[in-house]
């Protein structure tokens, strides 16, 4: 007696699409749960079971999506930072027009507003000089800085290269820093840094600052030391 060969179950395109949508939803749940926990406790201080519980899944399900905690940490950073790197690179192909600068500032701040814990996570990693800091810098933050400094050299030749680190730092703190230290800003100024009006003012200020960098001003009577 021969055993009939079992045929693989056919999955309709509609069913396949539903499964893919459900998988994407679960993945988003896991990332949404992990982001604030990593920002609060860091990579080492966050436990997988805490993430799974916050996401409403069991640990086995979480490991189906990410092989370990480090891979999940990377995915959180990827989701939060890569769109910003992409925006900076796209902007670098445009001109110095106020519209181009405004669009870039708005896209960057909107992304950070959507993922505010990523900014806090980065600052926490930097302050603690964490084990993941070198990879964080090399994979995302250094390309971010290099793209900006390259554009400064091409579009603002009147600026000293010695000032490039300060310019990148200024832009960094005006964007990432705004959300990383949001509780401090709220306590200091009494306004919610996440409020739409406050975010709009931040975008406008960044636009003004960036725009002014590309305009050559008359030499100051007092020069900065070399």
Number of domains in the chain: 1
Residue 20 counted as domain residue: no
Domain-located, residue 48: no
Return the residue matching tokens 């490991």.
63
Confidence band of 219 (pLDDT split at 50, 70, 90)? low
Burial of 76-113, coded b for 16+ CB within 10 Å and e otherwise, reads bbebbbebbbebbeebeeeeeeeebbbbbbbbbbebbb
| pLDDT given for residue 22 in this prediction | 60
Q: Is residue 113 part of a domain?
A: yes
Task: Flag whether 143 is in a domain.
Answer: yes
Within 10 Å of residue 175's Cβ, how many Cβ atoms? 20
The pair phi, psi for residue 225, each rounded to 5°, is: -65, 145
CATH number at residue 109: 1.10.357.10
In a domain, 128, yes or no: yes
Cα separation, 139 vs 218, whole angstroms = 38
Q: Which domain holds residue 105?
A: 74-213
Q: Per-residue pLDDT averaged across 204-215, rounded?
A: 84
The pLDDT of residue 96 is above 70? no
Q: Is residue 93 part of a domain?
A: yes
Is residue 55 included in any domain, yes or no? Answer: no
Number of alpha carbons in the 13 Å side-chain half-sphere of residue 35: 21
Q: Which of 19, 54, 13, 56 is nearest to 37 (CA)?
A: 54
Q: How many CB atoms lie within 10 A of CB 143?
A: 16
Instruction: Kindly write down the DSSP assignment for every residue of 179-203, as one continuous string.
Output: HHTHHHHHHHHSS-TTSHHHHHHHH
Share of the chain above pLDDT 70, in %: 82
How far is residue 52's CA from residue 63's CA, in Å, rounded to a whole number?
10
Residue 88 reports pLDDT greater than 90? no
What CA dihedral angle connects 73, 200, 172 and 47, to 10 degrees?
-20
Q: Are 72 and 151 in contact (CB under 8 A)?
A: no
0.85 surpassed by pTM:
no
The tokens describing 137, both together, are 């810098």
Q: Is residue 179 within 8 Å of residue 81, measured between CB atoms?
A: no
- Inside any domain, residue 123: yes
Distance CA(19)–CA(218), nearest Å, equals: 62
Percent of the chain scored above 90 by pLDDT? 57
Taking the C-alpha atoms of residue 163 and residue 18, their distance in angstroms, rounded to an integer, is: 52
Whether the pLDDT of residue 95 is over 70: the answer is no
């Amino acid at each position: 007696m021969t055993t009939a060969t079992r045929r693989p179950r056919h999955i309709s395109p509609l069913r396949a699409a539903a499964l893919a949508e459900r998988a994407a939803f679960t993945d988003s749940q896991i990332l949404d749960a992990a982001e604030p926990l990593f920002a609060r406790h860091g990579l080492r201080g966050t436990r997988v079971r805490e993430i799974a519980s916050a996401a409403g899944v069991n640990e086995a399900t979480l490991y189906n999506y990410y092989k370990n905690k480090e891979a999940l940490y990377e995915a959180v950073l990827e989701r939060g930072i890569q769109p910003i790197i992409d925006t900076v690179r796209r902007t670098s192909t445009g001109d110095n027009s106020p519209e181009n600068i405004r669009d870039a500032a708005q896209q960057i701040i909107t992304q950070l507003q959507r993922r505010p814990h990523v900014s806090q996570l980065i600052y926490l990693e930097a302050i603690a000089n964490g084990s993941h800091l070198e990879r964080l810098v090399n994979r995302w933050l250094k390309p971010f800085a290099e793209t900006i400094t390259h554009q400064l050299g091409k579009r603002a030749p009147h600026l000293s290269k010695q000032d490039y680190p300060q310019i990148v730092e200024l832009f960094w703190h005006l964007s990432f820093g705004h959300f990383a230290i949001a509780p401090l800003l709220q306590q200091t100024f009494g306004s919610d840094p996440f409020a739409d009006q406050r975010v709009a003012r931040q975008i406008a200020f960044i636009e003004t600052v960036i725009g002014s960098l590309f305009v050559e001003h008359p030499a100051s009577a007092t020069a900065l030391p070399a």
